[in-house]
Structure 1
């Protein structure tokens, strides 16, 4: 394996933590004898182009420094290749790192772990989800949660975490069940009403909300969590349980396991790893062992 490693950095991740995290991660890699090159990019498309160039040139690993959005961008460059992915998780949610038990907001530890994995050949093959040409590592969200994201993205005030909270309250006020069409593994199309449907390759989204708590990243299957039609009061009661994963036992929640999931609903956007995929209908496929992850 080449000793040249690429740090793929989002300098604005975690309110500026990304820029500061690159240095201790790079220092840990250099101390282990690796040569480190940093890739930034003027914007997401430019950064991805540069990351793909590094992969094509034979970099020994692409190490994403940032949050789940940066990991998602890195996946577009390394999925289906022999180049392993490292993660220095310093974003807001960090759900990909949480799912795989990687260090969170400890860039020096993440850098050391990546160096040890590269030196010792400790690379874990991990499944990924794919929608068309787009890859994702954690959860594809649709329904109430994606509508909260839609609203939050349109808001100019307030900022930060409060944006999501205000958007959630506004969406709760108009809560209605969504008519979905869903099919598993090329089976028959089912027409259901649901509050949300989450397709999980990983366990969590939103910074530790364990919406697909039973998902495994190496079983070749999605865990699909369906929250059926429910009232505002019921949703408010269930919501806190998501952080522990105990919502899965609630009467309105069902879990399905499938390799392929087709979703359709009017005026619903799909989000994967927190990034917008586009309007439904969407078809997601689980691709076994699509990426090797350092130290996982």
Structure 2
């Protein structure tokens, strides 16, 4: 019987983490499993809790949204530890990509009986993340959504994106994929391991978490209505059929701002798994099969 340590973000989605974990933990314990619950004080503390539980031989559960799941899963990448995802946040995009169920009974059965599956991770400037690394209007929208207190879920992201697009100025990027550079003016660049980001947007419908590659999606510059059209089409991934959307694939992707007078002094954030760890440039490298996760 497995022993679980649940690393919980107590603030993810308000009380959602607790409401999700309580019935799940009860089912696991009724089946004879031991469940230890650890509440994190922040991302670095969550990483330390995850590594400590893995060293003790426990299955480590990331309980929260994509930020917490990416943090805990990233801390376990390359260690051989077994990871379980408990979707309890606003987006749950990595869980969606993996097909992890939200129903407590189905999730408990997966965690108790499932076999670990090897999936890829991303090294983003030395920090392992799971879903994607992105820079541009979406990272600005991410920042806006994180600051929103009156709205939740996809509504917060949509309003954040609206504010980001209305204030957006064209950005000149240099995107280098496996040593080949591409100069592009556009709204955003996404290096995706998982196909979903931004609360269920299917940004990279061709992405797979176990193919050893990153899908690089570039939304090129165009009239502002173009971006709103792309946002609508993200629900089903049909945006990739637009001529303004380019998809590349590779193992290593560097995203930076072009050295031009128009970009002099400009600073753009980049996002990773719902967090905003820094500003451009950033290099994302695939970590093939680095994470053992309980997933369908």
The alignment's TM-score, normalised by the length of structure 1, stands at: 0.91
Structure 2 match to 1:25: 24
Partner of 1:88: 86
Q: Return 5+ residue gaps in structure 2 as ranges.
A: 258-265
What residue number does 2:71 align with?
Answer: 73
8 Å contact kept, 1:172–1:232: yes
Q: Is the 8 A contact 1:89 1:107 kept in 2?
A: no
2:196 paired residue number = 204
Preserved contact between residue 90 and residue 107 of structure 1 (Cα < 8 Å)? no
Contact 1:25–1:112, Cα closer than 8 Å, also in 2? no
Q: CA deviation at 1:152?
A: 4.0
The answer (yes or no) to whether the contact 1:10–1:40 under 8 Å persists in 2 is yes
Which of 102, 113, 117 aligns to 1:116? It is 113
User: Which deviates more from structure 2 when the two are superposed, residues 158-167 or residues 84-93?
Assistant: 158-167
Q: In the TM superposition, what whole-angstrom CA distance separates every residue of 1:192-233 from its partner, at most 9, and x where no partner exists?
A: 111111111000111210011110111000011011111112
Name the CA distance, whole Å, in 2 between partners of 1:101 and 1:38.
Answer: 24
What is the RMSD of the two structures over their aligned residues, measured on CA atoms? 1.8
Gaps of 5+ in 1: none
The answer to whether structure 1 residue 193 and structure 2 residue 185 are counterparts is yes
1:72-123: CA deviation from partner (whole Å, max 9, x where unpaired)? 121232111111111111211000110011113x234212211111xxxx11
User: Which whole-Å CA distance do the structure 2 matches of 1:3 and 1:156 have between them?
Assistant: 39
Q: How does 1:11-22 map to 2 (within 5 A)?
A: 11-22=10-21
Q: Give secondary structure in 1 for the equivalent of 2:23.
A: helix
SS in 2 for 1:21: helix
The answer to whether the 8 Å contact 1:139/1:198 transfers is: yes
Alpha-carbon offset, residue 27 of structure 1: 2.0
2:176 to 174, 183, 186: 183
State which drifts further: 174-183 or 84-93.
Answer: 174-183
Residue equivalent to 2:261: none
Q: Which residue number in structure 2 is paired with residue 97 of structure 1?
A: 95
Q: Deviations over 1:233-272 (max 9, x none)?
A: 2222222111100000001001001000011024111111
Relative to the length of structure 2, the TM-score reads: 0.91
Residue 159 of structure 2 corresponds to: 166
Q: SS at 2:176's partner residue?
A: strand
Per the alignment, residue 129 of structure 2 pairs with 136
